[in-house]
Structure 1
Amino acid sequence: MTLQSEPTACPWSIRIHQPCLCHSDRHALQEIAVTQPDFRPIKRQLILNGGFVMLFGFAAGFAFVFFILGSIELWPIPGKIAYQLPGSDKAWRMTHLEGVINGLMLWLLAAVLPTFELSVKLTHRIAQALIITAWAFPIASLFDALFKDSRGLRFGGPITNIIPFFLFYVGILTLIWAVVAVIVATWRQRPE
Structure 2
Amino acid sequence: MNNDLKNAQRLLLGHGALILLLGFIIGFGFLFFLLGEVTVWPFPGTIKYQFPGTYDAWRMAHLEGIANGLMLWIMAAVIPLLQPYIKRIYRISVGMIVVAWTFVIASAIDPIFPNARGLAFNASSNLASDTAFFLFYIGIIIAFVAVITIAVKTLRPGGEVR
Flag whether TM exceeds 0.5 (same fold): yes
State the Cα distance separating 1:130 from its structure 2 match: 0.7
State the Cα distance separating 1:107 from its structure 2 match: 0.4
Q: What RMSD in Å do the two structures reach over aligned CA positions? A: 1.3
Residue in structure 2 matching 1:155, options 121, 144, 152: 121
Equivalent pairs, count: 156
List structure 1 segments (4+ residues) > 4 angstroms apart after TM superposition. Answer: none
Alignment-mate amino acid for residue 85 of structure 2: L
Q: Residue 13 of structure 2: SS of its match in structure 1?
A: helix
Alignment-mate amino acid for residue 24 of structure 2: F
State the Cα distance separating 1:120 from its structure 2 match: 4.7
Answer whether contact 1:37 1:120 (CA < 8 A) is retained. no
State the Cα distance separating 1:189 from its structure 2 match: 4.9
Query: Which structure 2 residue ranges, 5 or more long, are not aligned?
Result: none
> What percent identity do the matched residue pairs reach?
44
Alignment of 1:41-120 (within 5 A): 41-116=7-82, 117-120=84-87
Query: Structure 1 residues 110-119 or 127-136, which shifts more?
Result: 110-119
State the Cα distance separating 1:191 from its structure 2 match: 3.9
Q: Which residue does the alignment assign to 1:146? A: 112
Alignment-mate amino acid for residue 118 of structure 1: Y
Higher relative contact order (CA 8 A, sep 6+): 2
Q: Which residue does the alignment assign to 1:179? A: 147
CA distance in 1, matches of 2:28, 2:87: 38
Query: Which structure 1 residue ranges, 5 or more long, are not aligned?
Result: 1-35
Q: Which has the larger radius of gyration?
A: 1
CA distance in 2, matches of 1:92, 1:168: 17
Residue in structure 2 matching 1:125, options 81, 91, 99: 91
CA distance in 2, matches of 1:73, 1:90: 21
Q: TM-score, normalised by structure 2?
A: 0.92
